[in-house]
């Protein structure tokens, strides 16, 4: 049995930040610079603003049913058949997100660090570690997330130091030279990078607070910090690379870390990726936790054993992930996942909020 004990606002902030950053930190702003080039930092910033608007929508929806998580009140908005279907869709989305982060970072590790280690071994170790953490309580996961703050701080310092290499500040001038259209167009892939705030749909009733506004403030702080971090990484990459290079380098941060020479550390990129692995595992375990909770709500108490569901879902991730060793297959899966993210974490909450408002006062349990 899983005990959903309350977590603090600080723990909520840590959970959201670590889920948002994930493996994307190594690729930004490659996808976000396809049209906007050196103005991609503005696309990344705009993506954070869009994410903040969706956070407000998710917050307003949860506020109307503040004593219950999403799986329990969605049937009240849509009716039982459609509500159960939405719970299953969210469960599938979260397990898909777990798989996405798992295979993406395993691909980085396999190509940059563990060259000769079999793909299935990397996948198995990451999935098993994440499942072990996710099979515990929400509070336990939150505490583990807090302990990773030191790891994140080390990585943050490494990123800042690595950006001090040779570059050109003229890359940023003139600002907005590519036009507003390309900046807005590249804000869409930037928005996908901020996925992680949707867990508020489930976590909201379990957050200790004096008022609901504290949750919104905490979520805004988390998203604001992630936005700052992504914009900082974008600025560092744009400072170091020319636009033709941006079109070719899919993981610019790795190259910057590899080129930077630090007397105390021989391979800064490897150190960064090994430390960042702890953040990635947190992201995977939170998604596994969410998927298991949504499935448990759908199956009922008798069939909803949390730990068992987590390990089953982790095995599913491993079994499917074994087939994603090919990079082209991974890129195709990422494209599909990004489109699904827009529908699930932005479209569905918006529609449900509108339906709930149209029906008037929120129901009472």
N- to C-terminal Cα separation, the chain: 23
**Structure confidence at residue 1 as a pLDDT band (50, 70, 90):** very low
CATH tag, 9-353:
1.20.1740.10
Mean pLDDT of the chain: 86
pTM higher than the cut 0.85: yes
Which of 135-139, 172-176, 229-233 shows the highest mean pLDDT? 229-233
How far, in Å, CA of 340 to CA of 198, rounded? 13
Q: What is the mean pLDDT of residues 33-42?
A: 88
Q: What is the mean pLDDT of residues 4-16?
A: 83
pLDDT tens track for 94-116: 999 999 999 999 999 998 888 88
Full 3-state SS string of 160-227:
HHHCCCCCCHHHHCCCCCCCHHHHHHHHHHHHHCCCCHHHHHHHHHHECCCCCHHHHHHHHHHHHHHH
Give CA separation, 75 vs 68, 79, 125, 280, 298, in Å.
Answer: 12, 5, 37, 33, 11
Residue 183's pLDDT is: 92
CA atoms within 13 Å, Cβ hemisphere of 94: 28
pLDDT tens track for 175-224: 877 788 999 999 998 898 898 888 888 888 888 887 888 999 999 999 99
**Structure confidence at residue 361 as a pLDDT band (50, 70, 90):** low
Give CA angle at 339 (335, 344), nearest 5°: 140
Residue 5's pLDDT is: 64
* Residue 55, pLDDT above cutoff 90: yes
Q: What does the domain layout of the chain look like in residue ranges? A: 9-353
């Amino acid at each position: 049995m899983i005990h959903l004990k309350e977590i603090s606002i600080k723990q909520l902030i840590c959970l959201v930040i670590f889920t948002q950053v994930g493996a994307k930190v190594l690729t930004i702003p490659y996808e976000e610079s396809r049209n906007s080039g050196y103005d991609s930092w503005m696309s990344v910033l705009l993506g954070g603003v869009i994410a903040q608007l969706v956070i407000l929508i998710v917050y307003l929806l949860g506020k109307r049913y503040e004593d219950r998580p999403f799986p329990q009140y969605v049937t009240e908005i849509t009716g039982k058949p459609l509500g159960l279907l939405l719970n299953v869709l969210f469960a599938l989305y979260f397990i898909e997100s777990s798989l996405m982060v798992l295979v993406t970072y395993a691909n980085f590790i396999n190509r940059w660090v563990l060259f000769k280690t079999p793909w299935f071994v990397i996948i198995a170790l990451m999935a098993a570690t994440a499942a072990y953490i996710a099979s515990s309580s929400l509070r336990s996961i939150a505490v583990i997330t807090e302990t990773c703050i030191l790891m994140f701080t080390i990585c943050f310092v490494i990123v800042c130091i690595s950006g001090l290499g040779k570059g050109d500040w003229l890359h940023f001038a003139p600002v907005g030279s590519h036009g507003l259209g390309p900046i807005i167009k590249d804000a869409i892939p930037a928005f996908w990078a901020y996925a992680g705030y949707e867990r508020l749909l489930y976590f909201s009733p379990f957050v200790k607070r004096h008022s609901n506004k504290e949750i919104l403030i905490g979520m805004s702080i988390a998203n604001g910090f992630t936005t700052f971090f992504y914009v900082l990484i974008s600025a560092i990459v744009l400072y170091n690379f020319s636009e033709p290079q941006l079109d070719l380098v899919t993981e610019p941060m790795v190259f910057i870390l590899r080129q930077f020479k630090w007397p105390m550390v021989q391979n800064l990129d490897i150190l960064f990726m090994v430390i960042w692995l702890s953040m990635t595992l947190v992201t995977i375990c939170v998604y596994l936790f969410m998927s298991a909770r949504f499935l448990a709500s759908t199956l009922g108490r008798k069939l909803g054993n949390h730990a068992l569901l987590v390990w089953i879902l982790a095995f599913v991730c491993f079994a499917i992930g074994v087939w994603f060793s090919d990079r082209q297959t991974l890129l195709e899966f990422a494209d599909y996942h990004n489109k699904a993210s827009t529908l699930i974490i932005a479209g569905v909450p918006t529609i449900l909020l509108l339906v709930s408002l149209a029906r008037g006062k929120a129901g009472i349990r």
